[in-house]
Amino acid sequence: MNLLSCLLPDATHVRLETWTLEPAQSAITINLRARQTTACCPLCARRSKRVHSRYERTLADLPWGEHAVTVRLSVRRLFCDNKKCERRLFAERLPDVAAPWARRTTRLTGRLTAVGMALGGAAGIRLGRKLGLNASRNTLLRLIRRAPMPDVATPSAALLHGPSGGAAGRADIGISPLV
Ligand SMILES: [Zn+2]
């Protein structure tokens, strides 16, 4: 694996086709496509290698130094040959590169979410700009809302029901056990 491949999002599943550097714009564009020849139907999970067509997704990625990075990801549409499946065509998914319909790579989304969770909307945007992670306030707030809730410890059974079990617990909260 070469140095450039190490810097790709999910180098295990995508390979670098070409790249361009535009020094005047401090911009890098990398063109990626899936390494695997087959992909799983998202509905029935059957693998397929029958390609219907291709299209290109444009994704913002983490900056490389002072350069903004754009990923152009070539995505295949494949046939699902499972007669029992309702899906005839599906687009291959590369969730470690980007979620379906996302406009940012997964790793950029994670970085923005972390900044937003730590600082909130306005301060998060200010720091994000300094780090080369540009996003609107609405985007940052949307990412914060979508972020999974942190794990919260649930009260133990002993706390809920008391050390002697369910009957004591019900008595504790004023409900007498039926006898
Ligand atoms: Zn299917």
pLDDT digits over 19-66, tens only? 999 999 999 999 999 999 999 999 999 999 999 999 999 999 999 988
Residue 88 lies in a domain: yes
**What separation in Å is there between the alpha carbon of 98 and the centre of ligand 1?**
21
Average pLDDT over residues 114-125: 88
**What separation in Å is there between the alpha carbon of 44 and the centre of ligand 1?**
4
Give the C-alpha distances (Å, rounded to integers) separating 103 from 45, 73, 144: 25, 11, 16
pLDDT score at 159: 62
Residue 170 lies in a domain: no
What is the torsional sign of CA 15, 17, 20, 21?
A: positive
Q: Are residues 54 and 116 in the same domain?
A: no
Range of the domain at 61: 9-94
**What separation in Å is there between the alpha carbon of 42 and the centre of ligand 1?**
7
Residues 6+ apart with CB under 8 A from 104: 59, 60, 61, 98, 112
Q: Are residues 89 and 22 in the same domain?
A: yes
Q: Are residues 119 and 48 in the same domain?
A: no
DSSP, collapsed to helix, strand or coil, labels residue 90 as strand
Q: Are residues 59 and 84 in the same domain?
A: yes
* C-alpha span between 151 and 65 (Å, rounded): 34
> Is a pLDDT exceeding 80 seen at residue 1?
no
**What separation in Å is there between the alpha carbon of 41 and the centre of ligand 1?**
5
pLDDT score at 156: 67
